[in-house]
Amino acid sequence: SLPDADDHVDVLIVGAGPAGLMMANWMSRCGVRTRIVDKRGTKIFNGQADGLQCRTLEIFDSFDFGHRAWIESNHMLEICLWNPDPKTGILTRSDRIPDTIPNISRFQQVVLHQGRIERFFLDSIRENSIRTACNGPSSDPEAAQIRVEHGVLPTSLSIDESLVEDTEAYPITVTLRHLTEEEATPAQKATSGNGQAVQDGIFRSNLSADDTADLIRLTNSLAEKAGRTETVKAKYMLGADGAHSWTRRQLGFTLQGDSTDFIWGVLDVIPITDFPDIRMRCAIHSEASGSVMVIPRENKLVRLYIQLTTTNQDGQGAQKYDRSQITPETIIASAQRIMRPYKIEYRYLDWWTAYQIGQRVGDSFSSKERVFLAGDAVHTHSPKAGQGMNVSMQDAFNLGWKVANVVKGLSNRSILKTYQSERRRIAQDLIDFDHRFSRLFSGRPAKDVMDEEGISMEVFKDAFEKGNLFASGIAVDYGASMIVAKEGSGKEQGDGTEVLGDAKLRVVSKSNLATGIEVGKRMPSFKVLNQADARPWHFQELLKSNGTWRVVVFAGDIRDAEQKKRLDMLGDKLGGESSFLKWVTPKGQRYDSVIQLLSCHSAPRRETTIFDFPEVFRPWDDREGWDYWKVHVDDESYHEGHGQVYKNYGVDPKHGCSVILRPDQYISWVGEMDDYESMESFFKGFMVDQRTRDGAKDAVANNVANG
Ligand code: FAD
């Protein structure tokens, strides 16, 4: 049985920034025993990251707090490009483009500071862990809560390699030290900031040296006085401890890439200005004084990213910039030079920082598929494209359900390899994108076509527009693997990682059956109606992040006798005793706790009822009756139009098709509507057969009982 004390956990998370919190959120949602520690005394309250991309909002919505971010944030709709007029040299608006490409998502890019986002996570983790504890065996839900333990520093990490393939073992041992309040509070750089005491982000900026080694030395010397030391054993661990990652260093992994000499300052202010586009996102290139990016924020704030200087101007090679010279006053003075002839100043300063652009990516994202790294620990880059927090959270979003499924004995450990193969490629793409984007942004505008050192504003606009799709997070397209059945299955990934399961069981998608759905990408969203109550839902709203897989049956026109026969035969197989829906589900658990069966047909709603569907599509529960929330229809709604899902997903409205979706809403497989055999083969590649699992456990128990 599971050890119950805090010194044995399924998952230990180091770092409670966006990546660590996303992981803790998944664990709380899936009911996995977890601890999360952070060396800092408190969460952050303002400053830091602010841009939320549309894919991130879709993910928040799948965790039920998307609406909080959507309502509180500032919505950014247009980007204005400002450049020196070619004739007069005077700063002028040269172009406008939409901030989010229209129709790529039901959300658009918004901005809200990281402190609020961390708040949403903390609330969600609390609610989820109390709820899962109430459904589980715990008599004290409060005690079962996953709480961020602040002021806690790991000081040693070891992995017992002989145990890594044993799914019941705790191969990871970590020593934790509890810090004093003083140690856990980062020193803020004193600033007048117009007379205010202002929080700065210098302690988390990459211009600041890492203080982990100092903290470890300090706590070593104060060990007895400063606080408790404890040893924790874990099955899995996530190092989400930022760019200076201690976990990464313990594993002997490195970040590879380079660092440029561009220094940027960041001010969050309420601006007082005559610049007309201050409430738009703007990219402003001056003739010779550098660039400013304007990000309009919530609560009347505006963030200014301001290029301070390059240190290699003198041609003598790189010099170290003296960061003690950087203050809010020097940063706003730079902005004033760049934005001339417009005037800009402020009375209220909320936060500020400075950083140096560097693009690096980790050589490895996991050790033995037991200790993983996510977020800034494995990729660092400039913040202007608003990517770091988004991609960091999405790393943990990719990993969380996989770890939860393995810990709960539902999936084989082999799926964990897809974390590195999927996310390292994204990190590399991100670094390449950022490389191009920041160099274009930091460069001086070309005076004319002959000016080879300058940046062409046409090239800049083109990069901005193309970059927008990448930056939205919607373009993510995971490669072929045991959980993404598309052309290319059976080959090694680009980074040499082996991610395939039993080759004999492999299935490949028939992508032509759903031309608007791309295997490897996230499921796009259009409105469907619930068959039973006619309520319209965005399809993504049906795909809550709760760790379950989904088989979506686009049943086609079920009035057609031939099609109805196909549906009934599929229903017989899915509902049969030997159905994969049954063998993946542990004894005693709800029928949809591991794989949910959803359907959407194309016959008129008024001519059909849920009883036209075989029972497995609308299962019976002795306490709750029929499940009315699984059968949907592509039809006109009373108030919200017609979602045209068959047309938008490119599915034949007579013939239909079936789709398998991962717990993170990415598309695994597309095939014939009634191709039960391929669906089962797909799941056999990595799901644990609960009949043999229970059998094996019973056998062990009997042996023990029989001495
Ligand atoms: P972090 O947020 O760095 O969190 C790591 C956590 O680990 C911290 O709480 C730290 O205290 C803790 N920790 C570190 N070491 C240890 C240790 N040894 N033991 C215990 N705990 C430890 N991203 C965007 O997406 N959009 C933006 O608009 C954006 N703007 C930015 C603006 C600025 C000025 C900056 C500096 C960054 C910006 N970013 C932006 C980037 C974003 O802030 C980071 O990419 C994101 O915070 C990374 O999340 P993380 O969880 O990986 O790491």
Q: What was the pLDDT predicted at 68?
A: 96
Find the 389 Cα to ligand 1 centroid distance in Å.
7
Atom of ligand 1 nearest to the CA of 154: 19
Query: Same structural domain for residues 443 and 512?
Result: no
Among protein residues, the one with the nearest Cα to ligand 1's atom 26 is 386
pLDDT at position 212 over 90:
no
Q: Specify whether 305 is catalytic.
A: yes
Residue 582: which CATH number? 3.40.30.20
**How sure is the predictor about 564, in pLDDT bands with cuts at 50, 70 and 90?**
very high
**Cα separation of 581 and 76, whole Å?**
44
Diameter of the chain by CA atoms? 94
Among protein residues, the one with the nearest Cα to ligand 1's atom 14 is 241
The interface predicted TM-score (ipTM) is: 0.96
Identified catalytic residue from 33, 177, 281, 297: 297
Q: What was the pLDDT predicted at 462?
A: 79
Range name among 433-442, 496-505, 637-646 with the lowest pLDDT average:
496-505
Mean pLDDT of 468-482: 92
pLDDT at position 351 over 60:
yes
Atom of ligand 1 nearest to the CA of 374: 52
Q: Which of 344 and 464 is assigned the larger pLDDT?
A: 344
Identified catalytic residue from 186, 328, 383, 524: 383
Q: What was the pLDDT predicted at 332?
A: 94
Find the 18 Cα to ligand 1 centroid distance in Å.
7
Give every CB contact of residue 335 below 8 A, 6+ residues apart in sequence.
Answer: 267, 292, 304, 306, 344
Find the 528 Cα to ligand 1 centroid distance in Å.
38
Task: List pLDDT tens digits, range 216-270.
Answer: 655 555 454 456 899 999 999 999 999 999 999 999 999 998 766 677 889 999 9
pLDDT at position 271 over 90:
yes
Q: How far is CA 398 from CA 101, 246, 401, 523, in A?
A: 24, 22, 7, 15
Query: Same structural domain for residues 453 and 556?
Result: no
**Cα separation of 431 and 673, whole Å?**
40
pLDDT at position 641 over 50:
yes
Q: What was the pLDDT predicted at 180?
A: 74
Q: What was the pLDDT predicted at 44?
A: 58
| Total residue count of the chain as it appears in this document | 707
The helix (H) or strand (E) run that includes residue 157 is: strand 152-159
Task: List pLDDT tens digits, range 388-398.
Answer: 899 999 999 99
**Which amino acid belongs to residue 632?**
H
Range name among 194-203, 318-327, 469-478 with the lowest pLDDT average:
194-203
In eight-state DSSP terms, residue 253 is: -
Percent of the chain at pLDDT > 90 equals: 65
pLDDT at position 460 over 60:
yes
Mean pLDDT of 303-307: 89
Identified catalytic residue from 10, 38, 50, 277: 50
Q: What HEC string does 444-485 produce?
A: CECCCCCCCCCECHHHHHHHHHHHHHHHCCCCCCCCCECCEC
Q: Which of 358 and 60 is assigned the larger pLDDT?
A: 60
Atom of ligand 1 nearest to the CA of 388: 45
Ligand 1: residues with CB < 6 A are: 14-20, 37-40, 48-51, 114, 153-154, 201, 204-205, 212, 240-242, 246, 266, 353, 355, 375-377, 383, 386-390, 392
Q: How far is CA 520 from CA 277, 388, 481, 483, 490, in A?
A: 39, 22, 9, 9, 15
**Cα separation of 488 and 499, whole Å?**
12
Query: Same structural domain for residues 70 and 150?
Result: yes
**Cα separation of 699 and 691, whole Å?**
12
| Per-chain mean pLDDT for the chain | 86
CB 415, CB 405: distance < 8 Å: yes
- Position 174 in a domain: yes
- Position 449 in a domain: yes
CB 13, CB 20: distance < 8 Å: yes
Nearest to 25 by CA among 394, 380, 539, 522: 394
Query: Same structural domain for residues 442 and 507?
Result: no
**How sure is the predictor about 162, in pLDDT bands with cuts at 50, 70 and 90?**
very high
Find the 362 Cα to ligand 1 centroid distance in Å.
16
Find the 478 Cα to ligand 1 centroid distance in Å.
25
Query: Same structural domain for residues 156 and 245?
Result: yes
Among protein residues, the one with the nearest Cα to ligand 1's atom 47 is 389
Find the 17 Cα to ligand 1 centroid distance in Å.
6
Query: Same structural domain for residues 623 and 667?
Result: yes
Among protein residues, the one with the nearest Cα to ligand 1's atom 33 is 48
Q: How far is CA 75 from CA 81, 296, 307, in A?
A: 18, 9, 25
Q: What was the pLDDT predicted at 239?
A: 98
**Cα separation of 660 and 652, whole Å?**
17
Identified catalytic residue from 170, 236, 305, 355: 305
- Position 100 in a domain: yes
Query: Same structural domain for residues 453 and 576?
Result: no
- Position 606 in a domain: yes
Query: Same structural domain for residues 530 and 651?
Result: yes
The domain boundary, picked from 471, 493, 512, lies at 471
328-364 b/e (C-beta count within 10 Å ≥ 16 → b): beebbebbbebbeebebebeebbbbbbbbbbbbbbeb
Among protein residues, the one with the nearest Cα to ligand 1's atom 3 is 242
- Position 428 in a domain: yes
Q: What was the pLDDT predicted at 277?
A: 98
Residue 186: which CATH number? 3.50.50.60
Q: What was the pLDDT predicted at 264?
A: 83
For 515, the token pair is: 């031309």
Mean pLDDT of 647-656: 98
Q: What was the pLDDT predicted at 435?
A: 81
Atom of ligand 1 nearest to the CA of 215: 18
Query: Same structural domain for residues 422 and 529?
Result: no
Q: What was the pLDDT predicted at 322?
A: 65
Task: List pLDDT tens digits, range 182-209.
Answer: 767 665 544 444 444 555 555 454 445 5
pLDDT at position 405 over 80:
yes
**Which amino acid belongs to residue 556?**
G
Q: What was the pLDDT predicted at 216?
A: 62
pTM to 2 decimal places: 0.90
The domain boundary, picked from 471, 491, 520, lies at 471
Task: Write the DSSP string, 495-543.
Answer: TS------GGG-----GGG-TT--TTSBPP--EEEETTT--EEEGGGG-
Burial (CB < 10 A; 0-12, 13-18, 19+), residue 75, is middle
Find the 353 Cα to ligand 1 centroid distance in Å.
13
Pocket test for ligand 1, best of 23, 26, 48 (most atoms within 8 A of CB): 48
Atom of ligand 1 nearest to the CA of 387: 25
Atom of ligand 1 nearest to the CA of 266: 34
- Position 225 in a domain: yes
Q: Which of 44-48, 181-185, 454-458 has the highest mean pLDDT?
A: 454-458
pLDDT at position 50 over 70:
yes
- Position 702 in a domain: no
CB 213, CB 152: distance < 8 Å: no
The domain boundary, picked from 449, 471, 493, lies at 471
**Cα separation of 688 and 700, whole Å?**
18
Mean pLDDT of 624-643: 98
Mean pLDDT of 590-604: 97
Enumerate the β-bridge partners of residue 528. Answer: 537
584-612 b/e (C-beta count within 10 Å ≥ 16 → b): bbeeeeebbbbbbbbbbbbbebeebebeb
Find the 688 Cα to ligand 1 centroid distance in Å.
36
Q: What was the pLDDT predicted at 191?
A: 46
**Cα separation of 600 and 653, whole Å?**
10
pLDDT at position 433 over 80:
yes
**How sure is the predictor about 317, in pLDDT bands with cuts at 50, 70 and 90?**
very low
**Cα separation of 463 and 471, whole Å?**
11
Mean pLDDT of 45-70: 90
Atom of ligand 1 nearest to the CA of 51: 28
7: left (phi over 0), alpha (psi -120 to 50) or beta: alpha
Query: Same structural domain for residues 467 and 507?
Result: no
Q: How many helices (H) and strands (E) does the chain have?
A: 16, 28
**How sure is the predictor about 2, in pLDDT bands with cuts at 50, 70 and 90?**
very low
Among protein residues, the one with the nearest Cα to ligand 1's atom 41 is 388
- Position 486 in a domain: no
Find the 691 Cα to ligand 1 centroid distance in Å.
44
pLDDT at position 676 over 90:
yes
Q: What HEC string does 87-156 produce?
A: CCCCEEEEEEEECCCCCCCCCCCEECCHHHHHHHHHHHHHHHHHHHHHHCCCCCCCCCCCCEEECEEEEE
Pocket test for ligand 1, best of 14, 38, 183 (most atoms within 8 A of CB): 38
pLDDT at position 48 over 90:
no
pLDDT at position 438 over 90:
no
Q: Specify whether 50 is catalytic.
A: yes
Mean pLDDT of 626-631: 98
Give the residue numbers spanning the domain of 580.
503-695
Task: List pLDDT tens digits, range 599-619.
Answer: 999 999 999 999 999 999 999
Q: What was the pLDDT predicted at 186?
A: 61
Query: Same structural domain for residues 450 and 515?
Result: no
Query: Same structural domain for residues 572 and 644?
Result: yes
> How many domains is the chain partitioned into structurally?
2
